[in-house]
């Protein structure tokens, strides 16, 4: 790495002109060649922010809230991560606290993304970014922020594929949120890649559309998990090979089914994610039928 410059200036004095939620200082600097000049510095406490995502439903939680600087610029509320300053605790605990206060979701394991200067040209604030999984069972609170702080927060649960489309269209205008979504896509790309799964989303129902062998594999794994029995119906027994024993209706999986996967796919590929899809289908007729049944 090559660096060029005229040397690092030094601060020779500061004075405070405002103390409040932030402290505004005027710093007097002296360059390497003896020239003096002033710069404003905003002193702020460190902060933390987190992007909660649900790996089962492929959703994420964000918030919208009035921001006075944006109102001053006639901007509408924008999608953001829940975030707040550290109040004597560590960054991870602060992120959990903010997620609970603003979203009503309890987060446990957090994945640290980075701790970085949010606006080094004018502020000394450092913000720690996290990713965190959540489930529907974790959403036990109302959220909306603290009334004592006059917070008016709206919780937004959004599909990850839609969230990425907002990135591509330039609709995500908060940099910490922009960075966290990119980090999630880099670290967990499968959450955004729906093309690998033979599913389309319509409301809360996931409908199988193609790759019949893969559908049978999914349904078979689910039936194995719940202890489904082999089919004893006449049409299915007629389809069995001559040397295959007839099902009695009482034996578990008396007929061993062979599953042919699409080219380039293995049974172990993202199996957990594939099974998760099944458990979120309210009505799966194929999974409700006995093994091999076509009636």
> pLDDT, tens digit, for every residue of 114-147?
999 999 999 999 999 999 999 999 999 988 888 7
Q: Is 51 in the same domain as 188?
A: yes
| Structural domain includes residue 97 | yes
Flag whether 5 is in a domain: no
Domain count, the chain: 3
DSSP assigned state of 203: T
User: Quick one: 58 and 188 in the same domain?
Assistant: yes
Query: Which is nearest to 226 in space by CA: 278, 294, 293?
Result: 278
Residue 295 located in a structural domain: no
Q: What is the pLDDT of residue 269?
A: 44
Residue-number span of the structural domain to which 130 is assigned? 47-192
Predicted local confidence at residue 226, as pLDDT: 54
- Does 1 map to a domain? no
Question: In this predicted model, what pLDDT tens digit does every residue of 244-265 receive, in sequence order?
Answer: 555 444 444 433 444 444 444 4
Q: Which residues contact 213 (CB under 8 A, 6 or more apart)?
A: 259, 260, 261, 262
Same domain, 187 and 79: yes
Q: What is the pLDDT of residues 208-237, one digit of tens each?
A: 444 455 556 665 665 565 554 455 555 555
| Pair 91, 179 in one domain | yes
Asked if residue 183 and residue 88 are part of one domain, the reply reads yes
Residue 293 lies in a domain: no
Task: Identify whether residues 141 and 39 lie together within a single domain.
Answer: no
Who has greater pLDDT, 288 or 64?
64
Whole-model pTM above 0.85? no
Chain-wide mean pLDDT for the chain?
A: 77
Query: Is the predicted pLDDT of residue 106 greater than 90, yes or no?
Result: yes
What CATH number did the domain enclosing 137 receive? 3.90.79.10
Assess contact for 291 and 255: CB atoms under 8 A.
Answer: yes
Note whether 31 and 52 are same-domain residues: no
pLDDT of residue 2: 67
Tokens of 27: 């710093």
- Domain-located, residue 60: yes
């Amino acid at each position: 790495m090559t660096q060029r410059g005229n040397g690092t200036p030094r601060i020779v004095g500061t004075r405070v002109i405002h103390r409040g939620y932030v402290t505004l200082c005027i710093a007097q600097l002296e360059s390497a060649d003896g020239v003096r000049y002033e710069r404003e510095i905003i002193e702020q406490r460190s902060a933390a922010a987190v992007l909660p995502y649900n790996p089962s439903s492929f959703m994420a939680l964000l918030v919208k809230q009035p921001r006075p600087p944006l109102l001053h610029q006639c901007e509408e509320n924008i999608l953001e991560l829940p975030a707040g300053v550290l109040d004597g605790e560590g960054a991870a605990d602060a992120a959990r606290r903010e997620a609970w206060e603003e979203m009503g979701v309890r987060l446990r394991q957090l994945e640290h993304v980075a701790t970085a200067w949010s606006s080094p040209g004018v502020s000394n604030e450092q913000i720690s970014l996290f990713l965190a999984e959540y489930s529907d069972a974790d959403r036990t609170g109302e959220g909306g922020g603290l009334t004592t702080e006059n917070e008016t927060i709206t919780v937004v649960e959004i599909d990850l594929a839609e969230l990425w489309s907002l990135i591509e269209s330039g609709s995500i205008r908060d940099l910490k949120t922009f960075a966290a979504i990119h980090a999630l896509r880099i670290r967990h790309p499968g959450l955004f890649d729906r093309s690998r799964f033979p599913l389309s989303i319509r409301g809360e129902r996931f409908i199988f559309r193609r790759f019949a062998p893969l559908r049978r594999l999914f349904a078979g794994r689910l039936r194995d998990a719940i202890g489904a029995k082999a089919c004893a119906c006449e049409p299915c027994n007629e389809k069995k090979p001559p040397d295959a024993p007839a099902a009695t209706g009482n034996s578990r999986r008396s007929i061993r089914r062979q599953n042919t996967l699409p080219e380039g796919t293995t049974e172990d590929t993202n199996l957990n994610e594939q099974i998760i899809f099944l458990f979120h289908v309210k009505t799966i007729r194929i999974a409700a039928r006995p093994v091999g049944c076509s009636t």
